[in-house]
Structure 1
Amino acid sequence: MGGLLGELGKKLAEQWLTLLVLPGALYLAVVAAGHTLGHGAALDVGRLTQAVSAAARDPQVTTVGGQVVLLTAVLAGAAAAGLAAQALGSAVERAALAAGWAAWPWPFGELAERRTAHRRRRWDALRAAYEVLLTQERAPRPADRPSPLERHRAARRCERVSVERPERPTWSGDRIHAAAVRLDRDTHISLLVVWPHLWLVLPEETRLEIGRARAALTRAAVLGGWALLYLPLTWWWWPAAPLAATLVTISARRLRTASDTYATLLEASARLHLTDLAVKLNIGELPVGPRLGAALMRQLSSPVPRPDPAP
């Protein structure tokens, strides 16, 4: 038992150091550099070196007690910055996935609605162009058929907007929503209803893989939280601006990749293990499709209670 607790404590310490302290210490270093140099001497390494050397020679820092206090303050500040980045990352994740955008307060809800409508119109136009190419592909004369490369490019342009018809203001949100849309269309199940039950029958390896994909999505959002923390530093130190812009770009790319991986795993695990859930619920052997989905929904859906008849 003691060995288990020791190993758990070691892993927690590693997580604390990796996720909070190290990025937070880097943030504090950037804050100190920006405060020391300002806009006028933003890239003056010599001035920064002199300031660090002068601070290191301070009598209060050279003592053991002063060093302990300084180290404690740095660790506490770094941890606080890491917690702030994680809190901002949660907000970034909610905005990127936009699951409940219709309930966002004004003006964010209105902006999200306009963005969703714009993406939907663009997707409809690109999808119509793709459908034209599919129709032309069935032309009797080979010369009248479009090239496969042209068709693939049209499909790719459509997928860059959304893999299904947009229902959310962001690509990442629509990508995860597309998994539910496809399962509803192909198997007539509601992923929101089925998923908690399906999760309990998934193999351990599958759950670990989904968990890793979900953690990657969270880390990408936290990186966006760090970008928001670096953004105010541009007020007195301009090099923080390209640093924040770089973090925003990396976060956006990772959010897109992580949401695609997560949605793919959700859909694949549902298609592969719906029959396992049906076995657990004593539903007859049915292939994955509308009949199986309807049977699962009847078992798992909670009917709306009917009001008692008036006396």
Structure 2
Amino acid sequence: MRRRRARRERADAEVVAHLRNHERDGDEAELAAARAAEARRDRIAPLPPARPTRMGDRMHALEHRVGAYYAVPFTAVWPRLWLAATEADRGEIRTAAGAFEASTRLCGWGLLYAALACATGWWPALVAGAVVVLAAWWLGRERLFALADLADAVVDLRLRSVARAVGIAVPPGPVAPATWRELDLVLRRRR
């Protein structure tokens, strides 16, 4: 985690440097470079790393963004969002969750190969197990990131429906933070 934190800090410093150059010179190339640096930084971790793995950091970033932007805890609103989501939304989430689960099963098979190698001393099983575990880890990370992005999109697309369903008037267009705080109060009352 320490190395990831240091890499993210360097990437964040690069973003800041490009933005300062853009503000000073008005150079559009610096703005484009800042956006590219932001993308690289966010691939390392959307927020400063606080979890042992990148997957944990990505899920933490989802919870943090929803809490910071909408002032409602993701864990409190997700069951209601699931009910407010369309069948197409749910299908996309199920597909992404199924792909992540397949990665975890693949990792389990890799660990079984490694256990076979330890039990029998047959080294090819250890090599196969290591390759399978590494592939499952890489696939799992990418699939979890996709799942988090979909969950994030469902929040953005369906939170108004949840607010309306619990009796909060949500005007079209930008929503005042007070509306989301009111939704948070309603959700907390029902816990």
What TM-score, normalized to structure 2?
Answer: 0.86
Residue 146 (structure 2) aligns with: 261
Question: How many angstroms apart in 2 are the aligned matches of 1:282 and 1:147?
Answer: 43
Structure 1 residues 142 and 268 mapped into 2: Cα distance closer, same or farther (>3 Å)? closer
Structure 1: 5+ residue stretches without partners = 1-114, 305-311
Question: How many angstroms apart in 2 are the aligned matches of 1:139 and 1:248?
Answer: 48
- In the alignment of these two chains, the number of paired residues is 187
Question: How many angstroms apart in 2 are the aligned matches of 1:275 and 1:157?
Answer: 31
Contact 1:123–1:165, Cα closer than 8 Å, also in 2? yes
Residue 49 (structure 2) aligns with: 166
Q: Percent identity?
A: 30
| Deviation per residue, 1:27-61 (Å, 9 max, x gap) | xxxxxxxxxxxxxxxxxxxxxxxxxxxxxxxxxxx
Give structure 1 regions of 4+ aligned residues with deviation exceeding 4 angstroms: none
Letter in 1 for 2:74: L
Shift of 1:218: 1.2
Q: In angstroms, what is the RMSD of aligned CA positions?
A: 2.4
Larger radius of gyration: 1
| Deviation per residue, 1:232-281 (Å, 9 max, x gap) | 23342121122112212211221111111110111110111111111111
What TM-score, normalized to structure 1?
Answer: 0.55
Structure 2: 5+ residue stretches without partners = none
Structure 1 residues 169 and 200 mapped into 2: Cα distance closer, same or farther (>3 Å)? same
Contact 2:19–2:31, Cα closer than 8 Å, also in 1? no
Residue 181 (structure 1) aligns with: 64
User: Quick check: 1:190 aligned with 2:73?
Assistant: yes
**SS at structure 2 position matched to 1:128:** helix
Question: How many angstroms apart in 1 are the aligned matches of 2:26 and 2:181?
Answer: 44
Question: How many angstroms apart in 1 are the aligned matches of 2:85 and 2:31?
Answer: 42
Letter in 2 for 1:173: G
User: Quick check: 1:200 aligned with 2:87?
Assistant: no
**SS at structure 2 position matched to 1:239:** helix
Contact 2:21–2:27, Cα closer than 8 Å, also in 1? no
Q: Which of residues 249, 253, 278 is equivalent to 2:134?
A: 249
Question: How many angstroms apart in 1 are the aligned matches of 2:154 and 2:166?
Answer: 18
